[in-house]
Amino acid sequence: MKTLRKNAIWLVLIAEVIIFSIANPAFIKPTNIVAILRQVAFYGIASVGMTFPILIAGIDLSAGTVITLVGIVTAGLMANLHVPFILAVIIGLLVSTGVGILNGFMVSTVGIPAIIATFSSQTIFEGCAYLLSNGLPIPLARGTAFDFFGKWNFPGTIIPISAIIMALCFLVGGFILNRTYFGRYFYAVGGNEKATKLSGIDTKKVYFMAYASMSLLRS
């Protein structure tokens, strides 16, 4: 029973693939699998970041809004201010990480429940995104470096670059959580925060890292 519960998600995935393949044989074709990988890569990378707040018994409702904000900031810098791609991306990552640190501060230091803190930051930064974009899309010229992440495949294959990045994020996230002492702290805080604090672990630092890593990966 324990093994079944541990592998339930894989059984559900296999069942879905079988059902969809029977309903439409084109589902299992390589071209469709590649298209699915390209579409889910973004959500897969964000899910690695979301794992950390969930492990400490928290939640981050601002994920979607911050993703939008980072996209608007990065695209706006490139399209309107002609900032180089690398610098624009770094600024976008800093903005996202800053929001995560703010959420971590509100939850760990101020003591605001995670659902309230992240909902408020969601509302605030949603307004910032509208102000920066005036509610309009920001067009970028084709052939920019963004195509590397969204459209390009690994040389000589049909595997999207974005899917490879997602797989690397899975490996790094799994290594941190299962092979490092710091990764174990997330489980400890989520299991019993008071006992973790009494054992000498800086729980505030764990909160900060959980929400900061969430924000970094979702951007």
Q: pLDDT of the chain along its 219 residues, tens only? A: 667 777 888 889 899 989 999 999 889 888 898 888 888 888 888 888 888 888 988 888 888 888 889 889 988 898 888 888 889 889 988 998 888 889 989 988 888 999 999 999 999 999 999 998 888 888 876 666 666 666 777 777 778 888 888 899 999 989 988 888 888 899 999 888 888 888 888 888 888 888 887 777 666
Instruction: Look up the pTM and report it.
Output: 0.81
pLDDT of residue 10: 86
CA distance 202 to 7: 33
CA distance 75 to 94: 15
Q: Measuring CA to CA, how many Å separate 36 from each of 109, 159, 166?
A: 41, 11, 13
What 3-state DSSP class applies to 111?
A: coil
Q: Look at residue 67 and give its three-state secondary structure.
A: helix
